[in-house]
Amino acid sequence: MVCSYKGHRQEVCGLKWSPDGQQLGSGGNDNLLCIWDINNRMRGGSLLSQPGSGIPVYGPKYCFAEHKAAVKALSWCPWQKCLLASGGGSRDQTIKFWNTESGQMINSV
């Protein structure tokens, strides 16, 4: 299925698929971290619009704005499902850990 995803307001500078291929994390120059869920899309969730071309446009499952700089570093935990680490740029200087199932930030260092 061909579709489009819309969530960031500036360039996307980091992308990482979860180990099981069910979620995609994206970081942007807009300081946002977005979580995209393939299963949510398949059930018709988060449909924003269907432009004249007939291609559906989907929104993120979660969009987090806790970083204070561009989110370029993303890494999924290989042994714990739905655990994502994200790193902000030099103005942020933090690594944040997220439960992408519940949408909760677990820790920030």
From the first residue on, what is the mean pLDDT of each consecutive set of 10 residues in the chain (109 residues)? Answer: 78 94 95 88 55 74 94 96 94 95 96
Query: Do β-strands 23-28 and 12-17 pair in parallel, antiparallel, or remain unpaired?
Result: antiparallel
Q: What is the pLDDT of residue 89?
A: 86
Q: What is the pLDDT of residue 43?
A: 46
- Side-chain half-sphere CA neighbours of 65 within 13 A: 4
In one-letter notation, the amino acid at residue 85 is A
Q: What is the pLDDT of residue 76?
A: 98
Q: What is the pLDDT of residue 49?
A: 59
Q: What is the pLDDT of residue 75?
A: 97
Q: What is the pLDDT of residue 78?
A: 95
Q: How far apart are the first and last CA of the chain?
A: 39
Q: What is the pLDDT of residue 44?
A: 45
